[in-house]
Every structure is written in C-alpha cells, then in structure tokens.
Amino acid sequence: MTQYIAYIRTSTNAQINGLGAQEKAIKDFISSQSGAEIISTYVEQVSGAKNNRAELNKALKEAKKTGATLLVSKLDRLSRRVSFIANLMETNINLAVCSMPSATTFQLHLFACLAEEERRWISSRTKAALAVRKEQGVKLGSPLNPLRAQERVDFAASLKPKFDELQKQGITSLYAISKSLNADGIPTHSGGKWYPTTVKNYLEAIL
C-alpha cells in the first residue's frame, strides 16, 4: 500500500475556494491509485514564494520519518521556486503531483524550471507592454468597478470545468491553455482573445 501525505496551499483568504479544488484533485488522484491512502493532510494559506512554511515543514518532516510520498494537486502549490524543488530532490522524500501523475521527481524539477522561465518571460513582456502604454499616455492602475470585478470572478468560476478538463489532458502551461481556449472559440469576459497573462489572472480568481 502506497501512503501519501497531502499538502494543500492557497496564497490568500480570497482564494479559500481553491482549497476545495485541491482537495478534490487529491481525492480523485487517490481513488485512481490502487491501494493508496492519505495518512495526513496539512493545509495553510501562505505565499508559495516563501520556503519556510510551518505546515509544509511538518508535512516534509512526517514524509521523511514515515517514508510516505508528499502529494500536492499542482506543482506550484508546493513552491514557485526552482531552488526549493532542487533541494527537495536532494532529500529522500518522494513527491507526487496530481496534475502530472506519471512525472518523476527529476521531471518535476524540469517542469519547475520551465514554469519559472515562463513567469520571467511573461513578466518582462508585461512590463514592456505597460511601458509602451504609459508612453502613449494611457493611464495605468485605474481601479476596477467592484461589480465588474465580481462579474470577472463569476465568469472565471464558470470556466473552471474547462480549465479542469485541459489539466486532465496535460495542457497546463499558461501559453498552452490560452492557445486551446482561442482554438475552441471561447472568448474572455470582455470578448477578447486569451493570452498567458489573461489565463493567469483568471486562474488566480478561482484558486
């Protein structure tokens, strides 16, 4: 029997609904594995950029003591830092990710590297685009109307089944998701096309 220690994380109180989504992903993963069981579950709300997290430290300590595999719904729920994943590889702790059930720890390290590079690329492109808009006299940082903001959250929530379907198909990068949504003719809330940054904003609204 394979034993797992589940770790569930969201960044803020505003993402409380994301806890349920992670719980479901973990439950579905365990159901798909013959003879698998969860022996402990650790939950916390803290930024993934922080390596020193109380509940995660407890989960890692128990995993090391019992030999159980650490289980997360998605890799970024564990950490957004490649260095953290690399350090984990140097321990005797096994790691499993629900969205990538067949990936080895080494492959997960590679995925983390690609994800971090993608975030840097998106950040640099976004900053460059904002700089151009500012030079053109566009006023940046205008607050959203609260009603419109809620509409965006509701719209994002309505797309969750689609995001879940893409995840099951192995379509997990922001670029791949945006490409798939555009190919399926699904517009954004404002009727426009999807871009990696757009997908990121919508996912953050429902996680």
The pLDDT assigned to 144 comes to 45
For residues 77 and 9, the answer to whether their CB atoms sit within 8 Å is: yes
H helices of the chain, in order, are 17-32, 54-66, 75-78, 82-89, 105-135, 146-158, 160-168, 174-183, 196-206
Q: Would you say residue 186 has pLDDT above 80? A: yes
Check: CB of residue 126 under 8 Å from CB of residue 201: no
CB atoms within 10 A of CB 18: 22
What domains are there in the chain, each with its CATH number? 2-108 (3.40.50.1390), 115-206 (no CATH)
- Number of C-beta neighbours around residue 126 at 10 A: 14
Contact call for residues 68 and 3 (beta carbons, < 8 A): yes
Listed range (12-21, 55-64, 90-99) with the worst mean pLDDT: 12-21
- Lowest average pLDDT, out of 98-107, 134-143, 155-164, goes to 134-143
What is the pTM (predicted TM-score) of this model?
0.57
Q: If you average pLDDT over each of 21-35, 141-155, 189-203, which comes out highest?
A: 21-35
Query: Is residue 26 within 8 Å of 71, Cβ to Cβ?
Result: yes
15 band by pLDDT with thresholds 50, 70 and 90: low
Average pLDDT over residues 129-142: 62
Percent of the chain at pLDDT exceeding 70: 75
